[in-house]
Amino acid sequence: MLFNPQAMTRSLPPLDHTTYSIHRHWMNRAIELARVAREGGDVPVGAVIVDEQGSLLAQAGNRKEREQDATAHAEMLVLRAASRVRQSWRLNDCTLYVTLEPCPMCAGAIVQARIGLLVYGIDDPKTGAIRTVANLPDSACSNHRLEVIAGIRESECRRQLQSWFSRQRTANESGHL
């Protein structure tokens, strides 16, 4: 099932204070990487992958504009980097933190990498492929069931993206792009 994604999204047990604090810590790092991406001219999205011991494996911000590469989304970059560190494409015991719900390309790569847990900041009502527009992890085309937690540092992630898009619109209207 590709649409009506809310119908299949797994609900996880409520987060205890310690777990929530850990998720906030890593999302803070992803938010900082998104800020760096914004300063480089890219959509402010940041991503971090940590292993089962909570050690940082990889981090990246969007570099699509900077590298002129349509696949240079933060998630794709961080998955590649973590796989190089691990010397394996299987990241099933890792957690991926990202500020924005992944798009279809990134959702597919996350499923292929067998990420154990995805934690993201805000839903993407235009291209979200985890649960907002589509639910690739729970669809028939998925070979991996992905646990997901959404809404960690949601207001900060939303504010960062809205600010960037507002500036882009203003620049477009004034002819500065």
Residues marked as catalytic:
75
Nearest to 48 by CA among 119, 114, 131, 109: 119
Using CA atoms in the order 128, 134, 50, 29, what is the torsion angle rounded to 10 degrees? 20
Residue 43: both structure tokens together: 């959509």
Rounded Cα gap, residues 85 and 38, in angstroms: 26
Cβ atoms within 10 Å of 60's Cβ, excluding its own: 26
Residue 68: both structure tokens together: 């002129």
Range list of β-strands (E), 69-162: 95-100, 117-122, 147-150
Rounded Cα gap, residues 36 and 42, in angstroms: 9
**DSSP state, 59?**
E
